[in-house]
Structure 1
Amino acid sequence: MKIENLIAATYAPMHQDGSLNTGVIKDYAQFLINNKVSGVFMNGSTGDFVSLSTEERKALTLAWSENKSSDLYLIDHVGDPSLKVSKELATYASDKVDAIAVLAPYYFRLNSIDKLVQYCKEVAACAPKLPFYYYHIPVLSGANLNMIEFLKIAPREIPTFAGIKFTNNNLIDYLHSKNFEDGKYNILFGFDEIFLSSLPLGAKGWVGSTYNHIPSLYYKIKELFEAGQMQKAAQLQTKAIRFVEILDSKGGFNGVAKGFMKTYGIDCGPSRFPHSNVSNEVYDDIKKELEKIGLSEFLGK
């Protein structure tokens, strides 16, 4: 099965004291479904997995699985610098979600395709019934490896290999990866700010943080592209970029965007250090700026 449409990289909901608030996830899931989001990528970069304990990551996996719906495909990121921890998380997720994913270890960084395949193979084997995705995000993992070369080896070594979450702006490597073996694998595009650029290359599935907030804008971009209205599509893509820039300017995108979920009645609570938490007054200013650029109509319902 190939995953299509928008997949939200979800936040880790927290109480004001910084502890997990998994009670939010039921409403969070329904909110995403109501906004035509097709799936969830949990415990990833947007979900601050590096600031969570192993037990907290398991608690989020369990909470999403308990609120599982046929309308929402669940991908659990189980990557960790420790192969032992990653395998433990994969084993835990093996009977709870629809797929697992890992990024490359990011402290002692991998410098070869062979090492990356070895790491992925061991993790994937811990959830032998689940599709496996590699999470390619070299700007954070430091594993700046060529994915077309990875694809030449990984599927042979990993029986459950399904595809790649491709969070990189190297569109040449993305295109080659997508077309590899006649498009056999699910190459999910993961760079929201150049969503429009992925469409002529045949992208069908996307994973990103801003799909929590403005999914209807991206569906409109896709609609305009398919109708040949490239100028209008580009104008909307510019608004998507401005959404990121405006929130980022208020203290850093990750923390501010998490807090912005309160706008939709989904209170994900504060972010953990080093992300910023800002006041309600700042969010009032953000909403005014978004209104000025014509984004109000695209904010989630």
Structure 2
Amino acid sequence: MKINNLIAATYAPMHQDGSLNTGVIKAYGEFLVKNKVAGIFMNGSTGDFVSLSTQERKQITQAWSDNKSSDLYLIDHVGDPSLEVSKDLATFAADKVDAIAVLAPYYFKLNSIEKLVRYCKEVAACAPNLPFYYYHIPVLSGANLNMLEFLKAASKEIPNLEGIKFTNNNLIDYLHCKNFEGGKYNILFGFDEIFLSSLPLGADGWVGSTYNHLAPLYYKIKALFEEGKMAEAAALQTKAIRFVEILDGYGGFNGVAKGFMKTLGINCGPSRFPHTTLSDDAYTEIVADLDSIGLLEQLSN
């Protein structure tokens, strides 16, 4: 099944003491569905998976599964530097979510397509009835490999290969992957700041953190593009970029954006080190900054 439209990379909700607060997840899912988000990508970079224990990641998977809605497609990221941990997480997720994904090990980095396919094949085999996605994010994983070559090799080795979460700004490689075998694979675009640039290339599914906050804005960009109103679409894309820049200026985007969810009515709590947790007063300043550039009316609600 090809996933279309926006998929939110979700946060790991926490209590003030830093422990998981999975009780928020039901309301979180309802909020995303209300804003026409089609799916979620849990336990990923936005979800602070590297700061969570294996057991905590399983708790998040279980909580989303327990609150599953037919309106929200669940992708669980199960990647880990340890192949054995990844396989354990994939096995756990096998009967709880709609698909799994894995990024490359990021400490001892993979330097060949052959190694990457082997890694992915072993993880995918632990949930053989679920669609499998490779999570391509070379800026963090260090696996700066050609994804067209990956598809050529992996398509022969991984029966449940569904596609790639493509978080890279190499649009040439993206386009080749999108067109591979007549568009057979679901290549989800994962670079929010150049959402508009993906549209002429045929992108129809996107995964990103700002789809938590700005889903209505991105759907407007898509509609304007389809109407041929490129200047207006570009102006909205610029606002989306400014959203990232403004929040990043308060100590780092990931933690600040997680805290901003409280402003939208979903309290995801604090962030774990090394991300920033701000005071409520700081968010009052951020809201004023966003208002000054006309962004408040574009926020999810």
Place the TM-score, normalised by the shorter chain, in its bin.
over 0.9
Letter in 1 for 2:133: Y
Q: For each residue in 1:273-299, what CA deviation from the matched residue of structure 2 results, as whole angstroms up to 9, or x when unmatched?
A: 000111111101110111111111111
The equivalent residue for 1:47 is: 47
The equivalent residue for 2:124 is: 124
The count of aligned residue pairs is 301
Match status 1:63 vs 2:63? yes
SS of residue paired to 2:200: coil
Q: For each residue in 1:106-149, what CA deviation from the matched residue of structure 2 results, as whole angstroms up to 9, or x when unmatched?
A: 00000000000000000000001000000000000000000000
TM-score between the two structures when normalised by the length of structure 1? 1.00
Percent identity between the aligned chains? 80
The equivalent residue for 2:10 is: 10
For the residues of structure 1 that align with 2:155 and 2:124, how far apart are their CA atoms? 11
SS of residue paired to 1:187: strand
The equivalent residue for 2:299 is: 299
For the residues of structure 2 that align with 1:281 and 1:246, how far apart are their CA atoms? 15
For the residues of structure 1 that align with 2:83 and 2:102, how far apart are their CA atoms? 10
Letter in 1 for 2:296: S
Letter in 2 for 1:194: I
The equivalent residue for 1:250 is: 250
Q: CA deviation at 1:39?
A: 0.2
Displacement over 4 Å in runs of 4+: none
Q: CA deviation at 1:264?
A: 1.4
The equivalent residue for 1:137 is: 137
For the residues of structure 1 that align with 2:4 and 2:188, how far apart are their CA atoms? 8
Q: 5+ residue gaps in structure 1? A: none
For the residues of structure 2 that align with 1:182 and 1:198, how far apart are their CA atoms? 18
SS of residue paired to 1:6: strand
Letter in 2 for 1:52: L
For the residues of structure 1 that align with 2:194 and 2:265, how far apart are their CA atoms? 28
Letter in 1 for 2:76: D
Q: For each residue in 1:205-236, what CA deviation from the matched residue of structure 2 results, as whole angstroms up to 9, or x when unmatched?
A: 00000000010000000000000000000000
SS of residue paired to 1:11: coil
Match status 1:33 vs 2:17? no
Q: How does 1:36-115 map to 2 (within 5 A)?
A: 36-115=36-115
For the residues of structure 2 that align with 1:265 and 1:229, how far apart are their CA atoms? 32
Q: For each residue in 1:76-132, what CA deviation from the matched residue of structure 2 results, as whole angstroms up to 9, or x when unmatched?
A: 000000000000000000000000000000000000000000000000000010000
SS of residue paired to 2:187: strand
The equivalent residue for 1:287 is: 287
Q: For each residue in 1:192-211, what CA deviation from the matched residue of structure 2 results, as whole angstroms up to 9, or x when unmatched?
A: 00000000000000000000
Letter in 2 for 1:208: G
Q: For each residue in 1:227-253, what CA deviation from the matched residue of structure 2 results, as whole angstroms up to 9, or x when unmatched?
A: 000000000000000000000000100
Letter in 1 for 2:8: A
Q: CA deviation at 1:162?
A: 0.1
SS of residue paired to 1:152: helix
Task: Report which stretch shifted further, 8-17 or 291-300.
Answer: 291-300
Q: CA deviation at 1:265?
A: 1.2
The equivalent residue for 2:201 is: 201
For the residues of structure 1 that align with 2:31 and 2:152, how far apart are their CA atoms? 39
For the residues of structure 1 that align with 2:119 and 2:134, how far apart are their CA atoms? 10
SS of residue paired to 1:102: strand
TM-score between the two structures when normalised by the length of structure 2? 1.00
The equivalent residue for 2:213 is: 213
For the residues of structure 2 that align with 1:300 and 1:283, how far apart are their CA atoms? 16
Match status 1:237 vs 2:237? yes
CA RMSD of aligned residues (A): 0.4
For the residues of structure 2 that align with 1:298 and 1:156, how far apart are their CA atoms? 43
The equivalent residue for 2:262 is: 262
For the residues of structure 2 that align with 1:293 and 1:177, how far apart are their CA atoms? 36
